[in-house]
Amino acid sequence: MKVYKYRYGSKCDLESLKQDYFYAPHPSKLNDPCENLFDTGDIEHILAKLADISLVSTKGVSESFSTLVVKLKEVGIYSLSKTVLDELLWAYYADSHRGFCIEYDLEKLGELSKFAGSFDVTYQDSIPKIQFDMFIGAKNIVETLKLTAGTKSKAWQHEDEIRIVMDQFGEVEYNFRAVKAIYFGLRMPKKWQDLHEDNEKLPDHLSQVSQDQVMHTLKGRGIKYYQMLLKPNSYQFEYIEIEDLFKDSPKYKSNIKSIDKSLIDYNDYGWGVEKQYFDKVAEVIRCDPYFEKLDSIFISSSESKSRNEPIIYVGFYKSGNDLLPNKRYLTLTQIDELYKEINL
């Protein structure tokens, strides 16, 4: 799924792209003072009643509830849009069209760092109420996060957000291939020479960057670039693809490692999968820029049964210090597509 992040266009914005991370701030640092506001009165009322009638101490339950409320308030929130064509978002969050907008692949964005939740924002007139049964089970915790961190006043409805919620606020590493495109604002300087002469004197969060600086910093990543335009005699935006000035640069994080094929289980377990597909997965994964060591490759019986088609599991470590492998489940069609990409 394509999602978009409007950026001011500062040195800090470019540095985070260069270092392959986004920053999920604490709710108190967002521009809406009502972020993550929720009502716990119903649960507090139930706990008070239990304390009055129970012969057993309810102190432990109350403390657990308090801990959960604290965790709900200490999350990190990364707000995204469903469109790159919103004139108000360009004005609010991209320095009045002098900044840029990032296009992400939402699924790839979560490959290296697990999201606590990812969902559309709900807009309503009243703050959400937390019910007691919401705290029972992992699925309900995600639904609770959706309610607490994913509910805003109707005044914000025009933003039509998608949100990523993390267990804690701060920097979040992502797979650099999650960045698919950069859209340059109508007023964004094209060249370094076009920047204001006092630009270098500004702090990094205010110092602007130019389009050629963005392309130079992100060279070799296969990113597409677009220029935003105003349609003739219209208030509406459109965009056109523009040339990457550094399209012939060496690939970023080109990383081809050797692989131990003794860790591949070639048994197709009745799914009729040819041996070549296991070898294709091995080739794809050893070319992955985050691959360090193979865990295993085999037919996943559970995934294959649930999807009613052969699914090959591949697990790998991206560093020698990893305790758990990164896991991927691939269909034969996906394997063919990925194999074709590395052989272009």
The candidate with the shortest Cα–Cα distance to 178, out of 111, 267, 90, is 111
CB contact at 8 A, 17 and 9:
no
Each residue's pLDDT tens digit, 12-23 = 999 999 999 999
Q: Which position has the higher pLDDT, 273 or 54? A: 273
Distance separating alpha carbons of residues 23 and 297, to the nearest angstrom: 33
Each residue's pLDDT tens digit, 68-95 = 888 899 999 999 999 999 999 999 999 9
pTM of this structure: 0.83
Question: From edge to edge, which strands make up the β-sheet containing 293-299?
Answer: 293-299, 311-317, 326-331
| C-alpha triplet 21, 148, 42: angle, nearest 5° | 155
Q: Please provide the DSSP assignment of 6-37 as one string.
A: EE--BHHHHHHHHTTEEEE--GGGSS-TTTT-
Collapse the DSSP code of 148 into the 3-class scheme (helix H, G, I; strand E, B; otherwise coil) and give the result.
helix
pLDDT at residue 316 in the model: 94
Q: Which position has the higher pLDDT, 220 or 111? A: 220
Q: Where are the beta strands (DSSP E) in the chain?
A: 2-7, 21-24, 76-81, 100-105, 117-120, 122-124, 151-153, 161-166, 170-173, 179-184, 224-230, 237-242, 293-299, 311-317, 326-331
